[in-house]
Structure 1
Amino acid sequence: MGDSCCGGTVDIRALEARQRRVLMIVLAINLATFVMMLAAAIYSGSSSLLSGSLDNLGDALTYLLSLAVIGASMRAKAKVALIKGLLIFGAAVAVAVQIGWRLAHPEVPIFEAIGIAALLNLAFNGICLWLLTPYRHGDVNLASAWECSRNDVYEGFAVLLAAAGVWLFEAGWPDLVIAGALLLMFLRSSWRVLRNAWSELRVSGGR
Structure 2
Amino acid sequence: MSGCCDDKVFEGMSDGYKRALLAVILINAVMFFVEITAGLKSGSQALLADALDFAGDSATYAISLFVIGASLRTRAIASLFKGGSLAFIAIIILGSSLYRFLGDTVPAAETMGTIGFLALLANLTSLVILMRWRDGDSNVRSVWLCSRNDAIGNVGVIIAGIVVAITGAAWPDLVVAILLATLFLRSSVSIISQARAELKSGEVMQHDPC
Superposed CA RMSD: 1.4
Instruction: Report the AA paired with residue 162 of structure 1.
Output: A
Q: Measure the CA separation in 2 of the matches of 1:87 and 1:140.
A: 15
The alignment partner of 2:70 has SS state of coil
Show CA shifts across 1:36-79 (max 9, x none).
01001001101110110001111111100001011112221111
Q: Measure the CA separation in 1 of the matches of 2:88 and 2:78.
A: 15
1:197 corresponds to which of 195, 198, 201: 195
Comparing both structures, which one devotes a greater share of its residues to helix? Answer: 1
Show CA shifts across 1:116-175 (max 9, x none).
110110001101111112111122211111011000110110100110110111110111
Q: Residue in 2 aligned with 1:76?
A: 74
2:157 corresponds to which of 156, 159, 163: 159
Contact persistence 1:16–1:70 (CA under 8 A): no
Q: Residue in 1 aligned with 2:103?
A: 105
Q: What aligned pairs does 1:30-109 form with structure 2 within 5 A after superposition?
A: 30-109=28-107
Q: Residue in 1 aligned with 2:5?
A: none
What's the offset of the Cα at 1:106? 2.1
1:172 paired with 2:170, answer yes
Q: Measure the CA separation in 2 of the matches of 1:122 and 1:45.
A: 19
Normalized against structure 1, the TM-score is what?
A: 0.91
Q: Measure the CA separation in 2 of the matches of 1:72 and 1:135.
A: 18
Q: After TM superposition, what 4+ stretches of structure 1 lie above 2 angstroms from structure 2? A: none
Distance change in 2, residues 1:15/1:203 (3 Å) = closer
What's the offset of the Cα at 1:15? 4.9
Normalized against structure 2, the TM-score is what?
A: 0.89
In the comparison of the two structures, how many residue pairs are matched? 195
Contact persistence 2:13–2:68 (CA under 8 A): no
Instruction: Report the AA paired with residue 196 of structure 2.
Output: W
Q: What aligned pairs does 1:140-159 form with structure 2 within 5 A after superposition?
A: 140-159=138-157
Instruction: Report the AA paired with residue 189 of structure 2.
Output: W
Instruction: Report the AA paired with residue 23 of structure 1.
Output: L
Where do 5+ consecutive residues of structure 2 fail to align? 1-9, 206-210
Show CA shifts across 1:2-22 (max 9, x none).
xxxxxxxxxx9x952112111
